[in-house]
Homo-oligomer: A and B are copies of this chain.
């Protein structure tokens, strides 16, 4: 059994707590956060503290706080267990504590009210030494079937890739949604298409799966589309179309 103290109260912390409740080999013994924010999303039976001096002894201190605060927070952390952050964009050596350092990055988009299948969430792990890595593996394997070893440099690129794959594609959906509202048709019409766009990638690479006017370099349709767009959306259309045409030329 791995004992864990969870640090933070944001979306990632909420879901990491839920994932831990469900895991057999993990015991979440305490939560720490600066404030009572989001308290209602956590199981009230878990002991909670706002006082760093009250931290309990645990195998793992899992930090799920803002990226910006990880470094300075870890400096104040005087514990003997392994300290691991959950950030995709921070290197291992951003941790300034004296005890063992690790990273346990769950590659998923977390909204508080979302139900997630934790068993499918990829966990990307890194640690300074083999013993700490084994502890993180045991922890992550008890939650998910998708556990990867990823170093800080790879994780930096992975996080960047996730911004394109998740954040930016969601913004494409937002522009599509705007068009549906402005023209009185239901955004639901597009949902099966969105699902298929992703499902296709189970057996095609994105480069094989590409379709559409830019893929065919269909300048007539492209010109027609550009005439209907203004400012930012037009700029986005132009720059992505240019990139797709370049990819296939």
Contacts and interface: CB of A to CB of B under 8 A. Distances in A.
A162 B207 contact: no
Interface residues of A, number: 93
Nearest to A185: B154
B166 A211 contact: yes
A200 interface: yes
Interface stretch (A27-35, A74-82, A135-143, A234-242): A234-242
A163 B200 contact: no
A193 interface: yes
A22 interface: no
A146 interface: yes
Q: Which of A172, A177, A211 has most chain B Cβ within 10 Å?
A: A172
A193 B108 contact: yes
A218 B163 CA distance: 13
A2 interface: no
Given A109-B211, A243-B232, A170 B197 contact: yes
A131 to B, nearest CB: 24
B192 A146 contact: yes
If over half of A's interface residues share one DSSP class (helix, strand or loop), that class is named, otherwise mixed; here it is helix
A161 interface: yes
B161 A247 contact: no
Contacts of A206: 170-171, 173-174, 176-177
Interface string A158-170: 1011111111111
6 contacts: A67-B218, A108-B196, A163-B213, A166-B212, A171-B210, A236-B240
Report the 10 A-B pairs with minimum CB-CB distance, sorted nearest first: A167-B212, A169-B169, A174-B206, A161-B176, A165-B176, A161-B179, A173-B206, A157-B183, A169-B172, A232-B243
Given A108-B192, A168-B169, A169-B194, 18 more contacts: A67-B220, A67-B221, A107-B193, A108-B193, A122-B188, A148-B186, A154-B185, A166-B212, A171-B214, A174-B205, A191-B202, A194-B201, A195-B198, A195-B199, A232-B239, A236-B240, A236-B243, A239-B239
Interface of A: 67-68, 89, 107-111, 114, 116, 120-122, 124, 146, 148, 150, 153-154, 156-158, 160-177, 179-180, 182-202, 204-207, 209-215, 218, 220-221, 224-225, 228-229, 232-233, 235-237, 239-240, 242-244, 246-247
